[in-house]
Amino acid sequence: YAVVARIDEVVIARGELKGMGAERPIKAPVSGVVSGIPVTEGELVTPGQVLIQFDPEVNTERLRSLGRQKELESRRLKEEIQAFEAREDSLQAKLNSL
């Protein structure tokens, strides 16, 4: 994103949010770029309330990239199968000529 906007500071970290009082572990099911935190420190939250928003564009681009990789791998495997089948036919023809 440095191409789009100026970045003053970048921090990469792993961690957990910790609540005050009755603490509950908070973990994200996926990794990503945080685009927003719609709660403030000390705010009471309810079950199911959104605490962190992830940038969907990062995951969308990753999904596109994985789709392209899948397509390329699928083509490669089809070509490999065709090569094995051609080799099998060749060997079978040699065996039949014996």
Please check the confidence at residue 2 and state whether its pLDDT lies above 60. Answer: no
Give pLDDT tens digits for 9-57.
555 667 666 666 666 666 777 777 888 889 888 888 888 888 888 888 8
Task: Please list, in sequence order, all residues whose beta carbon lies within 8 angstroms of the beta carbon of residue 22, skipping any fewer than 6 positions away.
Answer: none
Q: For residue 22, what are the domain limits?
A: 15-54
Total structural domains in the chain? 1
DSSP codes, 3-20: TTS--S--------B--S
Q: Per the domain annotation, does 28 fall within a domain?
A: yes
Q: Per the domain annotation, does 44 fall within a domain?
A: yes
Q: Per the domain annotation, does 87 fall within a domain?
A: no
pTM metric for this prediction? 0.45
Give kind and range of the element (H or E) at residue 37. none
